[in-house]
Amino acid sequence: MPRLVECVPNVSEGRRRDVIDRLAAAIRGVAEVRLLDQTSDADHNRSVFTFAGDAEAVARAAHALVDATLRELDMRTHTGAHPRLGAVDVIPFVPLAGMTMDECVALAHRVGREIAERHQLPVYFYAKAALRPERVRLPDIRKPQYEGLAELLATSHVPDAGPAQLHLTAGAVVVGARPPLIAFNIELDTTDLKLAQRIAKEIRESSGGLPAVQAKGFMLTDPPRAQVSMNLLDHTTTSLATVWHEVEARANAAGVTVLRGELIGLVPLDAALQVTASALKLDGFRRDRVIESHFLE
């Protein structure tokens, strides 16, 4: 069985196509790694790259992306709607096949410490790779953002690896290991940012909402509209269909319709099948009812 790892780095650049293309080329230039997806957003000013391969090749590709990003980006001039700590904001490793979560944690720790040493960057470990309980959740680490991190490096944000000093152009990096995550946005037919923020607060787990859901409200441009941006940490606990229903119901109650949904990056097959089963009201629908699943197995 192949030993496959997925890596989903988020980079603080979503507007300059030439820069994004060079970052993608750095990943493609690593043998035995396949770039599966690249999604960029100008309002968030952020790109998400998804690539996979064996652990050593994926580690090399992660380093290649960090090297290229630090050549291209300067956080001192960065603006965007999405919270971020650095040029390479987060690097999660996800076990796909033949790899355990513990092995991905070890990989995250090794790559994170190598990044800290090579580039003199503060590095934080999160999710399954967290070294302290207050750093399991990515939003808790990212809360001060790039602009507020420097004054906290000696107190609440002492790095897990690297210097306790902000890298002026690259900021800091968060590295972790986690199960598959679904980044899913819902755009509302309104410019009422407060409505999107209220809906996000009501549905996220940290506010007593849906389990395994993180959510924030954002304002987008071209055309202007409000967005509920979510991470589904475990689609078997809360499905895409469930979050769509909860957001749509709250929007409709406020007299607002939903414009569209948006996936950032890739989605597990079983999560997509959940949506099909929900939409068609298929009781007891299983993956083995899909022709292609028999060949994938």
pLDDT in tens, 19-42: 999 999 999 999 999 999 999 999
Which of 131, 146, 177 terminates a domain? The answer is 177
Does residue 25 sit in the same domain as residue 113?
Answer: yes
Which of 177, 195, 227 terminates a domain? The answer is 177
Question: Which of the residue ranges 8-17, 108-117, 186-195, 265-274 would you say has the lowest mean pLDDT?
Answer: 265-274
Q: Which CATH number belongs to the domain containing residue 242 in this structure?
A: 3.30.70.670
pLDDT for the residue numbered 239: 95
Does the pLDDT at position 296 exceed 90?
no
pLDDT for the residue numbered 293: 83
Which of 146, 177, 208 terminates a domain? The answer is 177
82 an active-site residue? yes
Does residue 107 sit in the same domain as residue 83?
Answer: yes
Does residue 166 sit in the same domain as residue 254?
Answer: no
CA of residue 180 relative to chain centroid, distance: 10
Q: Report residue 169's pLDDT band, with 50, 70 and 90 as the boundaries.
A: very high
Does residue 89 sit in the same domain as residue 64?
Answer: yes
Does the pLDDT at position 136 exceed 80?
yes
Does residue 154 sit in the same domain as residue 12?
Answer: yes
Report how far residue 225's alpha carbon sits from residue 185's, in angstroms, rounded to the nearest whole number: 12
pTM of the model: 0.90
> What are the tokens at 42?
């100008």
Mean pLDDT of 275-281: 91
Does the pLDDT at position 242 exceed 90?
yes
pLDDT for the residue numbered 200: 98
Report how far residue 58's alpha carbon sits from residue 122's, in angstroms, rounded to the nearest whole number: 21
Does residue 262 sit in the same domain as residue 280?
Answer: yes
pLDDT for the residue numbered 294: 81
Catalytically annotated residue among 63, 82, 109, 167: 82
Does the pLDDT at position 175 exceed 70?
yes
Contact between 9 and 46 under an 8 Å Cβ cutoff? The reply is: no
Write down the mean pLDDT value for the chain.
Answer: 96
> What are the tokens at 290?
């899909």
pLDDT for the residue numbered 222: 86
Does the pLDDT at position 99 exceed 90?
yes
Q: Which CATH number belongs to the domain containing residue 127 in this structure?
A: 3.30.990.10
Angle at 63 between CA 60 and CA 64, to 5 degrees: 85
Which DSSP letter does residue 124 get?
E
Q: Report residue 297's pLDDT band, with 50, 70 and 90 as the boundaries.
A: low
Q: Percent of the chain scored above 70 by pLDDT?
A: 99
Does the pLDDT at position 149 exceed 80?
yes
Report how far residue 102's alpha carbon sits from residue 252's, in angstroms, rounded to the nearest whole number: 43
Does residue 252 sit in the same domain as residue 118?
Answer: no
Does residue 164 sit in the same domain as residue 79?
Answer: yes
Q: Report residue 163's pLDDT band, with 50, 70 and 90 as the boundaries.
A: very high
pLDDT for the residue numbered 1: 62
Does residue 226 sit in the same domain as residue 141?
Answer: no
Give residue 71's domain range.
4-177
Does residue 288 sit in the same domain as residue 254?
Answer: yes
- The total of structural domains in the chain comes to 2
Does residue 36 sit in the same domain as residue 59?
Answer: yes
pLDDT for the residue numbered 292: 83
pLDDT for the residue numbered 284: 86
Q: Which residues pair with 37 in a beta bridge?
A: 50
Contact between 189 and 259 under an 8 Å Cβ cutoff? The reply is: yes
Does residue 70 sit in the same domain as residue 155?
Answer: yes
